[in-house]
Amino acid sequence: MSKNRIVVTCAKGISPYLEEEILGLGFPILSEGISSIETEGSFGDTLKLNLFLRTAHRVLFLLKRFKASHPGELYQGVYGLPWENYFSEESTLCITSSVDTETIRDSRFANVKCKDAIVDRFNQRIGKRPDSGPERDGVVVHLYWKGDRCLVYFDTSGEPLSKRGYRKIPLEAPMQETLAAAVVLATEWKGEGNFVNPMCGSGTLAIEAAGIAVGKAPGLLRSNFGFMHLKGYKEEAWKELHKKARTQSKKACSGKIVATDMRPEAVQAAKQNAMTAGVEQLIEFAVCDYSETPVPDLGGVIVLNPPYGERLGDRRQLESLYQGIGDFFKKKCQGYRGYIFTGNMDLLKKVGLRTKRRLPFYNGDIECRLLEYELYEGSRKRQRT
Ligand SMILES: C[S@@+](CC[C@H](N)C(=O)[O-])C[C@H]1O[C@@H](n2cnc3c(N)ncnc32)[C@H](O)[C@@H]1O
């Protein structure tokens, strides 16, 4: 498999952060969509992208593009690829797809056509075929079919990269790991100054912040990726890359990371998750109301992801909670950049502070915002004089 297009997907709205990351790893940007970035590289490059990208969901390596205006043409196009050279008949195969074409209504039919073409090719070339199923723990082939344009990829990630492997205890309303990483990147916090996270829930924001601060590659904990099931995979190259990633991660950062929640079980889960992620020594945990969170001197970033919907909390209580956050910011967090991540724009009005930036995000299908507040030392007026 020589150099080809690579599509890296992400949650809706976080492609600007993904783009920065891809550029930072030395890859070009060929195009950008709301939930994907197109770059290029070799199959070997997908190992690096899978290991280091914090905001990506899947790394798709393009195999072939062709025109198909009906399922028969899809079958022929897929059958034409030398699948027996790409992976063994002992592997298990999963087909995923994104289909938007008038010729079929149910994308599962396209998946079946695709799978049939691959297993028929195996049967005819070597007399045996791989098993197939919905699990993404073996070879994953992804089909993109829009109008009459078909693109066939290997999903080199397999399970989405948001599953880092540290969140064994998710609790209610957890933030996806990749979204939490994008939120931390949006705050531009990189380990200098403090990172304070009241209402930490299962600890995702603090854990991602710790990983960013010490440069710990997000894929280090995972033992299975889609690329591992392909013949082009060189275990030695992966071990080498893994070792390099482990050695380049720092032991400590200069700023403090503080994570608190009023529920003891949340703090317990956050600690456990941080331990699994190998960053618990970087985070100071406490059980307390957000307003009692110890805010270290010298400023930094303070991020809250308060409850915001039907899932947690009742409306009137939430209004006073958001109002209280405004007071807490004003009184206790001077010298910090304050952030609130929420999916409820009405509640934000209760904060009562002037916003500096409003960054759009999505949490699943819920449209969210990350609001930034500049919390000046003393009053703004005094600071200007
Ligand atoms: C939306 S969840 C945060 C989820 C978190 N970002 C994660 O990834 O798991 C909101 C959290 O706020 C906490 N919380 C609500 N009211 C609080 C208060 N007054 N003081 C401290 N924590 C509070 C809840 O216990 C819950 O864990």
DSSP output for 117-184: HHHHHHHHHHS---EE-S--SSEEEEEEEETTEEEEEEESSSS-TT--S--S---SSPPPHHHHHHHH
SS3 329: helix
Cα–ligand 1 centroid distance for 39 (angstroms): 37
**Residue 266 Cβ contacting ligand 1 at under 6 Å:** yes
| Least confident span in 23-32, 156-165, 198-207, 315-324 | 315-324
**Residue 166 Cβ contacting ligand 1 at under 6 Å:** no
Ligand 1: atom nearest CA of 266 is 27
Token digits for 117?
């073409």
pLDDT for position 382: 39
**Residue 173 Cβ contacting ligand 1 at under 6 Å:** yes
% pLDDT > 70, the chain: 96
Token digits for 376?
């000046």
For the CA atoms of 227, 231, 234, 239, the dihedral, rounded to the nearest 10 degrees, stands at 40
**Residue 197 Cβ contacting ligand 1 at under 6 Å:** no
Cα–ligand 1 centroid distance for 327 (angstroms): 18
Q: What is the mean pLDDT of residues 224-233?
A: 97
Pairing verdict, β 357-363 and 194-197: unpaired
Q: What is the mean pLDDT of the chain?
A: 94
**Residue 204 Cβ contacting ligand 1 at under 6 Å:** yes
DSSP state of 226: G
pLDDT for position 103: 86
198: Cβ contacts below 8 Å, ≥ 6 apart: 260, 261, 290, 293, 302, 304
Q: What is the mean pLDDT of residues 305-334?
A: 88
pLDDT for position 1: 66
**Residue 47 Cβ contacting ligand 1 at under 6 Å:** no
Token digits for 196?
């304070």
Q: How many CA atoms lie within 13 A of 229 on its CB side?
A: 25
Cβ(192)–Cβ(296) below 8 Å: no
Confidence of residue 351 (pLDDT cuts 50, 70, 90): very high
- Among 184, 197, 261, the mutation site with the greatest number of ligand 1 atoms within 8 A of its Cβ is 261
- Asked if residue 316 has pLDDT above 90, the reply is no
SS3 273: helix
Ligand 1: atom nearest CA of 341 is 6
Name the burial class of residue 15, with classes exposed (0-12), middle (13-18) and buried (19+) by CB atoms within 10 angstroms of its CB: buried
- Distance CA(341)–CA(303), nearest Å, equals 7
Cα–ligand 1 centroid distance for 199 (angstroms): 4
Cβ(175)–Cβ(305) below 8 Å: yes
Confidence of residue 309 (pLDDT cuts 50, 70, 90): confident
| Least confident span in 81-90, 104-113, 279-288 | 104-113
- Distance CA(16)–CA(35), nearest Å, equals 9
Does the CA dihedral 183-186-190-194 come out positive or negative?
negative
Cβ(60)–Cβ(181) below 8 Å: no
Cα–ligand 1 centroid distance for 188 (angstroms): 22
Ligand 1: atom nearest CA of 204 is 8
Protein residue closest via CA to atom 1 of ligand 1 = 307
Q: Full-prediction pTM beyond 0.85?
A: yes
pLDDT for position 364: 85
Residue in the structure block whose two tokens are 């049967």: 123
